[in-house]
């Protein structure tokens, strides 16, 4: 996800995908209710099949949800789904008309934004299928309005737990399921969604569109988009069509911007493994975020497309999410960096591939500046933060820029080739599943043969970063430079390697391993060097300064 421009309760300036973006919440949007700590134990949804009817004369939608699930315990008396209801005196929210199983009505209770379905008996090992008929005006989740050209649009916008506003689901990222959308809409709309197109036809002034994916997804990326689109195929990568969906008024520049996707997709396929979905649709949209990684149907802010700016980092970030975030999904919200940190760093790695090592150094320098500023404002927040009450609170620099930096330092720790091998192994092991930070660490240890417990504890469990002040002096008698480093942060010292470059010659470098507050090293210096620099290759998340001792 890339965070876009709006104005809700706060605004953060985030460096995402190499661009500075303002982020907040739309002034008209209401904050979504926080999710339960975990989904209902004993229920595993296998498949959703949603039939939705959209209209141009009202924002009311009519829906039928067919939910197939497996019962994993004998202790249940009801199945619980998230669905925001309609309260007295309000115009928005969903009302359930009926629930059926095999043609027979089933008892249900819809209160406090929970739909409890209570069949006569629930037994471990059963597969049950319920059909839910409902309707209403979504207050959120499905954004119905007009785009920048004044045309009416419909876009799903589910992150983090807003699918419940328009779909009856287990609205937590750990309960993944396959999904189909069957959309009936006015004939002038094209409809895009996850997966492959099964059918698309018009009858009079009505259009019927059916999309389906057999790859299990978390609800946060199950969406539809309906608008007047111009559609182009930018290319095909290993049999996967790469499509661009833009508003007709933005056709020229929009196709040019989104047409950069095929080489990005190929790079990630080569490095990470096969692309997991039936297509890749990059879609101009009118939603909340600068970019949202909906599986196989990525939505980009309408103002980010056809704007004359370089959209390569934005596309790379969202395309990387198709592997990490969508297919391998974080086990719970505190592990958000396994999604956002991965996408942020993989964007930098694509820039390194396409534009050279200097591009990655510039990218990581900006990310480091961002992480340092965040820590100054929020000194007690670790990367894996379990203190949140709403996942929206986790949308900050930590999972993005600090998460990227943890991966960057891990690459140095294990080596570039083992690092890429570890990412591939992590993807293969947890494909279509959920994973935690500990799971990722275990994979990297298996691949690298290293014990990474201290590394992960230091960078994911404790907040902050080292503040390192260095001094140097030239010892003419010994023809050496004496370099002294000291950690000055109030918190306990970090254990980190710090590379020191003496002069401009690449060969005149040494690495000091800071294990306490201070460290010192002597480097060959036949002459007084023009400079002594810390971390010349931008390998360490730290605040760094160096001065000559006699200055």
According to DSSP, the β-strands at 196-203 and 230-237 are unpaired
Q: Which residues contact 85 (CB under 8 A, 6 or more apart)?
A: 93, 94, 95, 110, 111, 112, 113
User: What crossing angle do the helices spanning 403-414 and 337-355 adopt, rounded to 10°?
Assistant: 60
Under a CB-based contact definition with an 8 Å cutoff, are residues 343 and 448 in contact?
A: no
pLDDT digits (tens, 9 = 90+) for 440-464: 999 999 999 999 999 999 999 999 9
Under a CB-based contact definition with an 8 Å cutoff, are residues 506 and 487 in contact?
A: no
Tell me which residue of 381, 394, 384 sits closest to 465, measured CA to CA.
381
Q: Which residues contact 314 (CB under 8 A, 6 or more apart)?
A: 2, 17, 19, 290, 291, 300, 304
pLDDT digits (tens, 9 = 90+) for 465-518: 999 999 999 999 999 999 999 999 999 999 999 999 998 766 678 999 999 999
Q: Which two tokens stand for residue 366?
A: 């900006």
In this predicted structure, the answer to whether residue 168 has a pLDDT above a threshold of 50 is yes
pLDDT digits (tens, 9 = 90+) for 234-256: 999 999 999 999 999 999 999 99
- What would you report as the CA-atom Rg of the chain, rounded to the nearest whole angstrom? 26
Under a CB-based contact definition with an 8 Å cutoff, are residues 52 and 63 in contact?
A: yes
pLDDT digits (tens, 9 = 90+) for 357-391: 999 999 999 999 999 999 999 999 999 999 988 99
Under a CB-based contact definition with an 8 Å cutoff, are residues 61 and 49 in contact?
A: no
pLDDT given for residue 308 in this prediction:
86
The helix/strand/coil state of 216 is strand
The helix/strand/coil state of 177 is strand
Please state, in angstroms and rounded to a whole number, the distance separating the CA atoms of residues 142 and 440. Answer: 33
Q: Which helix (H) or strand (E) segment is 11 a member of? A: none
Peptide bond into 409 cis (omega under 30): no
Domains and their CATH numbers in the chain: 40-149+164-214 (2.60.40.1730), 328-461 (1.10.390.10), 467-548 (2.60.40.1840)
Give the percent of the chain with pLDDT over 90.
Answer: 87
Mean pLDDT of 19-38: 42
pLDDT digits (tens, 9 = 90+) for 181-235: 999 999 999 999 999 999 999 999 999 999 999 999 999 999 999 999 999 999 9
In this predicted structure, the answer to whether residue 50 has a pLDDT above a threshold of 50 is yes
Beta bridge partners of 189: none
In this predicted structure, the answer to whether residue 19 has a pLDDT above a threshold of 50 is no
Q: Is the dihedral of CA 438, 443, 444, 446 positive or negative?
A: positive
In this predicted structure, the answer to whether residue 14 has a pLDDT above a threshold of 70 is no
The helix/strand/coil state of 181 is strand
* Inter-CA distances, 364 with 130, 275, 349, Å: 49, 26, 10
DSSP-assigned letter for residue 80:
E
Q: Which residues contact 198 (CB under 8 A, 6 or more apart)?
A: 180, 210, 211, 212
Q: Which two tokens stand for residue 159?
A: 């992150």
pLDDT given for residue 35 in this prediction:
52
Please state, in angstroms and rounded to a whole number, the distance separating the CA atoms of residues 505 and 472. Answer: 17
Q: Which residues contact 114 (CB under 8 A, 6 or more apart)?
A: 80, 81, 82, 83
Hey, how many other C-beta atoms are within 10 angstroms of the C-beta on 542?
23
3-state SS, 398-462, equals HHHHHHHHHHHHHHHHHCHHHHHHHHHHHHHHHCCEEECHHHHHHHHHHHHCCCCHHHHHHHHHC
* Inter-CA distances, 193 with 217, 297, 436, Å: 13, 6, 28
Under a CB-based contact definition with an 8 Å cutoff, are residues 517 and 440 in contact?
A: no
Q: What is the chain's mean pLDDT, rounded? A: 92
């Amino acid at each position: 996800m890339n965070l876009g421009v709006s104005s809700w309760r706060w605004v953060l300036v985030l460096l995402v995908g190499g661009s500075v973006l303002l982020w907040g919440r739309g002034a008209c949007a209401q904050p979504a209710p926080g999710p339960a700590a975990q989904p209902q134990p004993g229920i595993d949804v296998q498949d959703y099949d949603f039939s939705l009817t959209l209209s141009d004369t009202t924002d009311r939608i009519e829906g039928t949800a067919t939910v197939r699930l497996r019962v994993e315990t004998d202790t249940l008396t009801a199945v619980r789904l998230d669905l925001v209801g309609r309260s007295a005196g309000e115009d928005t929210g969903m009302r359930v008309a009926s629930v059926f199983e095999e043609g027979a009505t089933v008892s249900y209770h819809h209160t406090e934004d929970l739909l409890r379905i209570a069949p006569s008996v629930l037994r471990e090992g059963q597969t049950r299928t319920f059909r839910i008929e409902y309707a209403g005006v979504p207050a959120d989740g499905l954004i119905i309005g007009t785009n920048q050209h004044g045309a009416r649009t419909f876009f799903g916008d589910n992150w983090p737990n807003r699918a419940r506003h328009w779909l009856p689901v287990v609205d937590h990222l750990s309960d993944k399921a396959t999904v189909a959308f069957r959309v009936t809409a006015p004939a002038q709309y094209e409809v895009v969604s996850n997966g492959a197109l099964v059918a698309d036809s018009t009858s009079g002034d009505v259009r019927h569109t059916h999309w389906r994916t057999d790859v299990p997804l978390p609800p946060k990326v199950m969406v539809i988009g309906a608008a007047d689109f111009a559609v182009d195929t930018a290319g095909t990568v290993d049999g996967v069509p790469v499509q661009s969906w833009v508003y007709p008024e933005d056709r020229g520049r929009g196709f040019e911007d989104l047409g950069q996707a095929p080489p990005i997709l190929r790079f990630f396929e080569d490095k990470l493994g096969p692309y997991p979905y039936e297509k890749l649709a990059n879609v101009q949209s009118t939603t909340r975020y600068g970019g949202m990684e909906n599986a196989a149907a990525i939505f980009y802010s309408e103002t980010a497309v056809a704007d004359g700016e370089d959209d390569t980092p934005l596309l790379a970030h969202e395309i990387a999410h198709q592997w990490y975030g969508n297919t391998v999904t974080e086990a719970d919200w505190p592990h958000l960096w396994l999604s956002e940190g991965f996408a942020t760093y993989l964007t930098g790695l694509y820039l390194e591939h396409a534009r050279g090592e200097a591009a990655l150094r510039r990218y990581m320098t900006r990310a480091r500046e961002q992480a340092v500023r965040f820590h100054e404002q929020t000194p007690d927040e670790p990367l894996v933060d379990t203190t949140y009450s709403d996942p929206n609170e986790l949308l900050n620099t930590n999972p993005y820029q600090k998460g990227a930096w943890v991966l960057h330092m891990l690459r140095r720790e294990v080596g570039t080739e083992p690092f890429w091998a570890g990412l591939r192994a992590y993807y293969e092991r947890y494909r279509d599943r959920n994973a935690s930070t500990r799971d990722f660490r275990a994979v990297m240890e298996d691949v690298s043969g290293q014990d990474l417990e201290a590394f992960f504890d230091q960078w994911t469990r404790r907040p902050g970063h080292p503040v390192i002040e260095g001094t140097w002096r030239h010892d003419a008698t010994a023809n050496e430079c004496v370099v002294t480093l000291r950690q000055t942060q109030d918190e306990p010292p970090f254990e980190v390697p710090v590379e020191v470059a003496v002069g401009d010659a690449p060969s005149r470098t040494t690495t000091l391993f800071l294990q306490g507050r201070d460290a010192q090293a002597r480097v060959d210096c036949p002459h007084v060097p023009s400079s002594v620099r810390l971390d010349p290759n931008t390998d360490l998340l730290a605040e760094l300064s160096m001065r000559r001792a006699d200055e």
